[in-house]
Amino acid sequence: MTADADQRPPLDAALLAEELALTPDLTLELLPESPSTNRVAADRAREGAPDGLLVVADHQTAGRGRLDRTWETPAGAAITFSLLLRPTVPAASWPWLPLLTGHTVAKALDSFGYDARVKWPNDVLIEGKKVAGILVERIETGSGAAAVVGVGINVTTDPDELPVPTATSLRIAHGDRTPTREGVLLAVVAGLREGYDAWQAGGSEAGERLASSYAAACSTVGQDVRVDLPGGTAISGRAVDVDRDGRLVVETADGLEKVGAGDVVHVVPG
Ligand code: BT5
């Protein structure tokens, strides 16, 4: 643990409660420590919690990534939260939720002066390194399907605390001008609530707008990529677009391929 790490204060619960009270469609559950906010939010969803429950862990001890991977964050250095949503859009539109979330996180970080880009589908990168990860899960509940939108952002993580060499943090990118965890959390959550509500209410027109805004901001489009597919195979080529269903369109030697899920490697990181 570094000297900085010793000085990391807990999240300011009073400030968060006060600011979030201004948003009537969000309810805060702030936990000093939790294995996984996605797990807590999923439990609450099954217990009947409404849309807008925001579960925040000051320290998450067993964070989950996609495909049984882990998400590791030192105490007091990161933001880890899950937002419970109960979408009314058709099931076919749900794959947009993680993309919308990544796009929103990148835009919120940009508002603090960063140049954050989203790598398809939803990794948020600064200078080619991962600063935020997103895990969206669909939960079946007694009152219909719910979505748990989990977001982890490295804020004051120091270089020697990064779990993998491909990671970065807001402090590593900006040093002294690093925003507070509370400031970043509030900006991301407000952006998410706003972007999600507009997308839900706006019908196909809002869907079109999101698709073109996402494709324009996604750093994967225009890159040479390898996509590792869930079945263990891979395709390589030039990523040329993100289609109306959120799929990555890759121009391969055999023609255009549309990919709905997979891990992208940018051949030249960006
Ligand atoms: C993700 O998975 O990136 C999704 C991470 C979601 C975390 C949030 S925190 C709140 C909520 N509650 C949870 O339990 N989870 C969500 P994936 O694309 O599979 O990436 C996981 C990989 O990222 C790992 O295998 C590592 O290589 C790397 N990694 C782990 N911790 C990281 C970190 N703090 N920063 C950057 N990369 C990390």
pLDDT tens-digit profile of 218-236? 999 999 999 999 889 999 9
Tell whether the torsion through CA atoms of 35, 105, 184 and 199 is positive or negative: negative
For residue 5, the model assigns a pLDDT of 52
Distance 143 CA to ligand 1 centre (A): 29
Among protein residues, the one with the nearest Cα to ligand 1's atom 23 is 71
Q: Tell me the backbone φ, ψ of residue 168, rounded to 5 degrees.
A: -145, 180
59 lines ligand 1 (CB under 6 A): no
152 lines ligand 1 (CB under 6 A): yes
CA 269 – CA 15 distance, rounded (Å)? 38
CA 234 – CA 3 distance, rounded (Å)? 44
CA 262 – CA 250 distance, rounded (Å)? 12
38 lines ligand 1 (CB under 6 A): yes
pLDDT in tens, 199-218: 999 888 888 899 999 999 99
For residue 2, the model assigns a pLDDT of 46
- CA 104 from chain centre, in angstroms, equals 8
Which residues in the chain land under pLDDT 70? 1-6, 269-270
Distance 223 CA to ligand 1 centre (A): 23
**241, two tokens:** 């677009």
Angle (CA) 209 105 223, round 5°: 70
Cβ contact 117:105 at 8 Å: no
Distance 192 CA to ligand 1 centre (A): 19
Mutate to test the pocket of ligand 1, among 37, 66, 71 (most ligand atoms within 8 A of CB): 71
For residue 3, the model assigns a pLDDT of 46
Within 8 A by CB and 6+ apart from 88, the residues are: 200
Q: What is the pTM of this model?
A: 0.95
For residue 204, the model assigns a pLDDT of 83
